[in-house]
Structure 1
Amino acid sequence: MQNQSVKEEIKMGLTDTTSSKEKETTQKPTYSSSQLLSLPQELFMDICENLHPKDLYTLSLVCKQFRIILWSNSTNTQQIWCNSRSKFLKSNIKLPNSLTEQKFIWLGFLGHNCQYCGQDLEDNNRRRFWEFKVLVCSKCADEKSICDINFRNDLNYLMNATSPGYYGTNPYYWKSDVSRVVDEYNSLSEDEREGWIKNKQAELRDDIQVIEALRTQETEINLNKFLCNILSR
């Protein structure tokens, strides 16, 4: 019963939507970060199961210990974020192995700033590339990507080892990803390169189906927004 009481206090504190004026005249939540820190890890994880992803992000900023737990790639931590995503964001898509739950939720739901320059992202200045796992403004997207034609002209031998990202119907390649792939390729002997390319192709096949589903979902959402704007005029 005592553990249940602590759970409820913490949950209420993290999801509190009371206005500032109301808070001045009401009792402050009785939980504290010290209470959380003193909890057994299993109980802490149990509490996290019932928090919105935004609250999980907030909690991860409280202290190093919480960040280590909530930023882990462990199966248990990934399941916490997955359950929260399903419960509060109504998103049940299966993620590729290369994309963590934390990164997916930030890219798809919580990110509002360019991860390079920090600029606030408006709808017409937002570039989300699932393939590269980045959310950026149009200026940074132009600076940090290369177009399909240039990639084919300069690095055609790596076409089967990389996958382009798309904004609309235009394919792009992320410069840092290309640089990493080139370095990997150049570090191999001639005999090793063919096997390496085959392994890269297998990795891409694992990701491409999910990424295409994400892209289709995003296109449908944008289309619905566009139609709603037209109908509301």
Structure 2
Amino acid sequence: MPQPRILILRAPGTNCDVETAHAFQLAGGQPDVLHLNRLLEAPQLAVEYQVLCVPGGFSYGDDIAAGRIFANQIRHHLSDVLQEFRSAGKLLLGICNGFQVLIKSGLLDTDDAAGPAASLTWNDSGCFMDRWVGLQTEGDKCVFLSGINELYLPIAHAEGKFVTRDQSALKRFEEAGQLVLRYADVGGSVQPFNPNGAEQDVAGMCDTTGRVFGLMPHPERFVDFTQHPNWTRREDRGEGVGLALFRNAVRYFS
């Protein structure tokens, strides 16, 4: 399959769909931006795609909680469709608000008999935060992070603090190798290295297959060297490091 098809699933309030489609196109994919209502009307459309991405933004105004309404739409109307999508060996990606959607919909294997075992809540500062952060990967489970050790990417969120129900839930995710991306002192970071107070510095996690991945930073906002905040003083004039995540997704089906 020379050019995998990517479904960028947007909702009212999504505002990063165009940048995300651009990143996938640069990586060699064939992206389509589709409104959530279209998929609700015709769930069979998902079969035509190899990657599904929920991009960043403020879906439904982040009313109730960030990503909650979008996640409820998936839980109640598209859960079987997306579980089949995952079972077919395909990839799902959630960026920022998309991560909030994936984790609250249960697609990241965070639910158990007692209910949701992890979530994303308000930053310790209680404020929206927009800055660049250093990131370090862990393990080799996640398809999107293959061959990547460190990243330097922007964040823009108010509810990005990763929390678990209790220590046993945190231990379960650790032992399953799901906590694959953490805030770290790398790549030009400034203090605090953990910007939102996330448990164990978690910035992103995958499901138990490694094919469903959610992260709070925005890789689509650093696919070109001119997007780096210090680009005029940098000798590196290559592609932005965020593009590697999208290349990995496309390469998975090549």
Q: Same fold (TM over 0.5)?
A: no
TM-score by length of 1: 0.27
Flag the structure with larger Rg. Answer: 1
- Higher-RCO chain (CA-CA 8 Å, sequence separation at least 6): 2
The structure with the largest strand share of the pair is: 2
